Amino acid sequence: MWLAVLVACPAPLVDTSASDPQARDALFTTVRVSCDGDAGKWALDMKADGWTGGGALFLSADGVYVEEHGFGSYEAAVDGSSDHLKLSLGVAAEFQDVHEGSSTWFNCGTPSLQGLLVLRNRDASALTDCRVFGAAPLLWSEWGIGDCAELVTVEPLP
């Protein structure tokens, strides 16, 4: 015969007078988008002012074929005061070699290329911030994919 014993332990008390990093949505503090067309590499380095649920990079030249590349936390502060996120993409030589989160069909010089970066709240249930790049950032809204006016410049990879 088996005997089950349940023990109830009170949960530790949480100091609610302190600022709760989970209670507010994090925003980008820095966003760096870099690309090396010759090497076929993209590098994104982003920082936020609190914990996040990651984010995503959307790439498109026409609004019909749209790639989505998710990214997560690279390093976060233990106290929830910041989050560092990164994404690296290689440019695929063949269309069938495109893989979410690791390779893209788009190179820096792709005509009409547009990029949309979104940041998600801690439980990834809502978008909290965004950035766009490309010559026509308002196209994301016209395509019905996103609405963002915060422009970031694509820099050459060092």
Mark 29-65 as b/e (b = at least 16 C-beta within 10 Å).
eebebbbeeeebbbbbebbbbbbbbbbbbbbbbeeee
Domain segments of the chain as ranges: 25-156
- Let me know if domain 25-156 sits in CATH 1.10.3470: no
Residue 122: exposed, middle, or buried by beta-carbon count in 10 A (0-12, 13-18, 19+)? buried
| CA atoms of 68 and 59, how far apart (whole Å) | 7
Backbone angles phi, psi at 22, to 5 degrees: -80, -15
Strand order in the sheet with 66-71: 66-71, 55-60, 114-120, 127-134
pLDDT in tens, the chain (158 residues): 444 443 344 444 444 444 565 568 999 999 999 999 999 999 999 999 999 999 999 999 999 999 999 999 999 999 999 999 999 999 999 989 999 999 999 999 999 999 999 999 999 999 999 999 998 988 998 988 888 989 999 999 87
- Residues in Cβ contact with 75 at an 8 Å cutoff, skipping those fewer than 6 apart: 83, 84
